[in-house]
């Protein structure tokens, strides 16, 4: 399975709605045969055991570097924009639609 990092807004706007949207996207990616990483769910972890923003972004970036692709959700997000920049620096393609990432995966099955 190709690992896909889901990048998108978390705290900008309605946090719970953003988490919901990210989980729905992650579930859609999973149903298409991908192994999604949805950093938005760490909001629940942070409720139980809070960490500084910088700790979460460092942790997320380590996971991002283990993925073969990034799916960028719509919406304004400085953090997601930074994640996409990191992906480009390390050579991980960034996609903006599910159809686009499915098409790419079909033409790059060995990734």
The string of pLDDT tens digits covering residues 33-83 is 999 999 999 998 889 999 999 999 999 999 999 999 999 999 999 999 999
Q: Provide the pLDDT for residue 110.
A: 62
Q: Provide the pLDDT for residue 108.
A: 79
| Per-residue model confidence as pLDDT tens digits over 71-108 | 999 999 999 999 999 999 999 999 999 999 999 999 87
Q: Provide the pLDDT for residue 111.
A: 61
Decide the pairing of beta strands 3-7 and 94-95: unpaired
Higher pLDDT, 109 or 67: 67
Q: What CATH number does the domain located at 3-75+90-107 have? A: 3.40.50.10400
Burial of residue 107 (CB within 10 Å: 0-12, 13-18, 19+) is exposed
58: its two tokens: 């460092």
Q: Provide the pLDDT for residue 3.
A: 97
The pTM of the full predicted model, rounded to 2 decimals, is 0.94
Is pLDDT above 90 for 109? no
Report whether 72 contacts 8 (CB < 8 A). yes
């Amino acid at each position: 399975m190709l690992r896909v990092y889901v990048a998108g807004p978390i705290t900008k706007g309605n946090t719970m709605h953003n988490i919901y949207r990210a989980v729905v996207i992650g579930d859609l990616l999973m149903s298409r045969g991908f192994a999604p990483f949805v950093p938005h769910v760490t909001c629940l972890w942070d409720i139980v055991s809070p960490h500084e923003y910088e700790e979460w972004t460092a942790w997320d970036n380590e996971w991002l570097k283990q993925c073969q692709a990034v799916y960028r959700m719509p919406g304004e997000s400085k953090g997601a924009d930074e994640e996409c920049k990191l992906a480009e620096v390390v050579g991980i393609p960034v996609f903006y639609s599910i159809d686009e990432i499915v098409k790419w995966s079909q033409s790059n099955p060995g990734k």
